[in-house]
Structure 1
Amino acid sequence: MDLRIFTEPQQGASYDTLLSVAKAAEDLRFDAFFRSDHYLKMGEVSGLPGPTDAWLTLAGLARETSRIRLGTLMTAATFRLPGVLAIQVAQVDAMSGGRVELGLGAGWFAAEHTAYGIPFPAEKFPRLEEQLAIVTGLFGTPEGETFSYDGTYYQLADSPALPKPVQEKLPILVGGMGKQRTPALAARYADEFNIPFASVEDSAAQFERVRRAAEEAGRKPDDLVYSNALVACVGKDDVEVARRAAAIGREVDELKRNGLAGTPAEVVDKIGRYAEAGASRFYFQILDLSDLDHLDVIASQVAPQLG
C-alpha cells in the first residue's frame, strides 16, 4: 500500500515551507511528495506569500531530497505547451535521479487564467488528449530518431525529442470522474489512474470503467495503478482530530464522510474500504503545512497497520 503526501501550495505556502514538508515526508518514509498546479488561491484564505510554480518547485526539491518520488496532481495542460512541458519534466527527472511522475489534466479553474493572463480555451479535453500524445511520443522516441505530430491544436515537425527522462518509463497519471472520455484516455496513456475527493462507491464505479476501457484498448487492467486523493485529518484521539479540523476550517463529521479523517483506527478502516473498491495508492491531502506532527501520526500510527 503506497501512502503519499499531497499539498495545495496555492492556499499559502512558500518554497521553504514545501521543502520542509517534502523532507519530513521523506524522513517518515512516505512514498512520494506531490503538489497541485494552481496559480490562484481558493476559498477564504490569504494565499500569502502567493503562488509557486509546480515544476520550479519540483526542480528545487529534486536537488534537496534523495529518495522520495515527486510529482503533480495535476499539471494543467492549459499552462504549458506540450513540447516545453516534456523538456521540463525530463530535466527535473534527471535532476532527481529518476524520481519524477507526471500527472496531466485539462485545467479547469478559469479565474486563475484570467488573473495571470493565461488563455482558457473552450476545447480543453481535446487539447489534453493531444498533449498526452505529444509528451508520451517525445519520451518514447528512440534517441537518434525524430518525432512529428500534426494535430488540431499542436504541430511538431522533426523534433529531436530530447532530453529524455532518466527513467526508462516515466509514470504518467490521468484522473477524474468523466464516464467515457476520461477512462479511454487513461487506458491509452496512463500508468496510474487517480480519483480526487470521491466516495468509495463512486471510486469503485469509476475504477471499473477504467478497467473496462483498458481491456477494450488491449491492455491488462492490472497494468494500471488505481489511486485516491483525499483530504487528511488524522489525530491520536478525538481532541486532536477536532483541533486539526478547526485549523483548516472544516467540520469533523464532514471530513469523516469525505476524507481520511479520525483516529488512526478510523482512517485504517476507511482506507480498507477504498482498497476493496480497487485502490492501492493513497494521496493524503495535507492542508495545514505547518503541522508536521500530522505527517508523523500518519506514518507512525496509520502506515504500520496497512502492511
Structure 2
Amino acid sequence: MSRNTSIGSYYKYIIEQKPLGYTFNTNPYFKGFEFEKVNLLWWQNYGIENWHLAFYVGAVYILAIFGIQRLMKNRPAFELKYPLFMWNLTIGLLTIIGFIRVLPGFLRVINEQNGLYNSICLRSGLDIPTAYWTVAFTLSKFVELGDTIFIVLRKRPLVFLQWYHHLTALIVTWLTAPLAEPAVRFCAVLNIGVHSLMYPYFALKAIGVKVPTYIANIITTLQLGQMLVGLAVNVTSWYLQYTGYNCPRHPLSIKVFCFVYGSFILMFGKLFYDLVIKSKWKLKDDKRKQS
C-alpha cells in the first residue's frame, strides 16, 4: 500500500468535486498509486454516451464463438496450452492485486456504525484504489470474453452457462456502471475475490498440474455464494428504498440484477449440485462398495 501523506491536486479535486457523487476517504492509507488516479468523470460520461457498446461487442462475441465452433467442426483442435496458461495467469495476478487493493476500503466501510447500510446505500467512504479497480472491473468483462474463444479453438464443450454468464455480466455491468450505485461495492469485491482464486486455478489446470478436487469445489461454492450474496444485497437495497430509506438504486438496475443473479443462482446451483453434492455422494457410494 502506498502511504504518501501529501495532498496533491488530484486528491484536492477528488475531495472537493466528489466525482460520481461520492465523498472520498482522505486517510493516507487509502491513497492510490499514480496509475490508479484516473479521470472518473470521463469514464462515467464515456459509459453513458456509449451505453450500446456492450450490445455491439456482445453480438460480435456470439457470432465469433459459434462461427469459430462451426469452422472448427472438421478441423483438429488447437492445443494452446501455454497461451491459455499465460492468459489465465495474467488475469489471475491482476485480480489478486485488485482484490488486495479493494478489500481494505470495503472492510473499513462495512465495519463502521451502520456499516451494512452504508456499504449498500451511501455514496461515502470511497477511496482511490476502489474507484480505479471498479473501473477496471467493468472493463474486465470485455476481456473475459476471451475465455470462450479458447474453449472453441480447443474444441472443448461449450456449455450454455459459460457464454451466457459472460455475455450477461458484460451487458449488465457496462449499463449500470455509470450509475455509480453504492451496492456495486459488493459486486466488485466478491467478483474480483472469486476470480483471484479461479483464474490461477485455471492457469495450473492449463499446464496439466493436478490440483486437488476440493480446490475446485471451494471455487464452485464461492461462485454460488457470490450470486446468493449479490441477490441478497440487491433485494435489501430495494427493500430499504421501498420503506423510505435513502438508497440510490435505479429501478431498472434492481430488476435487471434480480433477473441476472436469479438466473446465475439457478445455473451455478446446478453446477454446485453436480460437482460438489453428487460427487460426494458418489465418493461415499464407492467407499461403501469397497468396504
TM (norm. structure 1) is 0.22
Name the larger-Rg structure.
2
The structure richer in helix per residue is 2
TM (norm. structure 2) is 0.23
Higher relative CO (CA 8 A, sep ≥ 6), structure 1 or 2?
Answer: 2
